[in-house]
Structure 1
Amino acid sequence: MDIRRISSRNLGRDDRVISDHAREARFPFLDENVVSFLNSLPLHDKADLTLPRGIGEKLLLRLLALQLGLARSATLPKRAIQFGSRIAKMENRKEHASDTCNRLKDK
């Protein structure tokens, strides 16, 4: 059930952020046929958690990145979008998502 609902449940915020920049999001890896295929694969084809972080998890994506010539990207540890940019470390840790941003109030 969670897999069927992931696109409607978890992508609302991401879609709003992307569309605020006049872009339209595409999520080919969340296509139902892709998700179904990946669910049918055995776990050892998708991950080897005995390998170090940045290598063993998300093996299929890493192999694809290597084939596309993205060697550096293929070995980076994967992060959620809000952590990948490391913006969370730059922000005030006392802020909450529901707060109005003080930096924007002044403009």
Structure 2
Amino acid sequence: MEMNRISKRNLGRDDRVISSLGKEVRFPFLDEQFVNYLRSIPIWLTADLRLARGIGEKYLLRYVARHYLSLEQSSKYPKRAIQFGSRIAKLESRKEKASDQCSRLTTTNNNTMNDEE
């Protein structure tokens, strides 16, 4: 279900935020071939929900972080969506949706977000 709505729910917002800083966003982990490969891996190889939180969910990702990237401590942190991990969600209006155009990031009367500061 998440893959079916990611473009409406997350990518639009992320693209707008990054574009407002004059950058172009890239999503290498959403490459179609890469996603299809990951979806072909049996679920029991990617997660083991019998294990404790911070170990069992996202098991394959945590294994790679621990054994190949030397990220032992980081591999144990619980997963958080970026907007919650950065606490930005608390600063945003609860009425906004990721698919909505953000008035704070649009140009009006030749003023941009940066011009107002």
Superposition TM-score, scaled by structure 2 size: 0.67
Q: 1:81: which partner in 2?
A: 82
What's the CA shift for 1:86? Answer: 2.8
CA 1:16–1:29 in 2, change beyond 3 Å: closer, same or farther? same
CA distance in 1, matches of 2:47, 2:86: 24
Q: Does 1:37 align with 2:37?
A: yes
Cα RMSD of the aligned pairs, angstroms, is 3.0
Instruction: Report the alpha carbon displacement of residue 68 of structure 1 after superposing the two structures with TM.
Output: 1.2
Structure 1 unmatched runs, 5+: none
Q: Does 1:22 align with 2:22?
A: yes
Query: Residues 39, 95 of structure 1: CA spacing in aligned structure 2 closer, same or farther, 3 A cutoff?
Result: closer
Higher RCO structure (Cα 8 Å, ≥6 apart):
2
Structure 2: distance between partners of 1:39 and 1:59: 14
Q: CA deviation at 1:31?
A: 0.8
Q: Which one has a larger percent helix, Structure 1 or Structure 2? A: 1
> Residues 25 and 100 of structure 1: is their aligned pair in 2 closer, same or farther, counting only changes over 3 Å?
closer
Equivalent position of 1:72 in the other structure: 73
Gaps of 5+ in 2: 105-112
* Counterpart AA for 2:76: T
What is the distance in 1 between the residues matched to 2:28 and 2:39? 15
Aligned residues: 101
Pair 1:4–1:96, CA change in 2 (3 A):
closer
Q: How far apart are 1:4 and its partner, in Å?
A: 6.2
Q: For structure 1, which segment, 27-36 or 57-66, has the greater mean C-alpha deviation from structure 2 after superposition?
A: 57-66
C-alpha deviation, 1:5, in angstroms: 6.2
The 4+ residue runs of structure 1 with deviation greater than 3 A are: 1-6, 98-101
Amino acid at match of 1:29: F
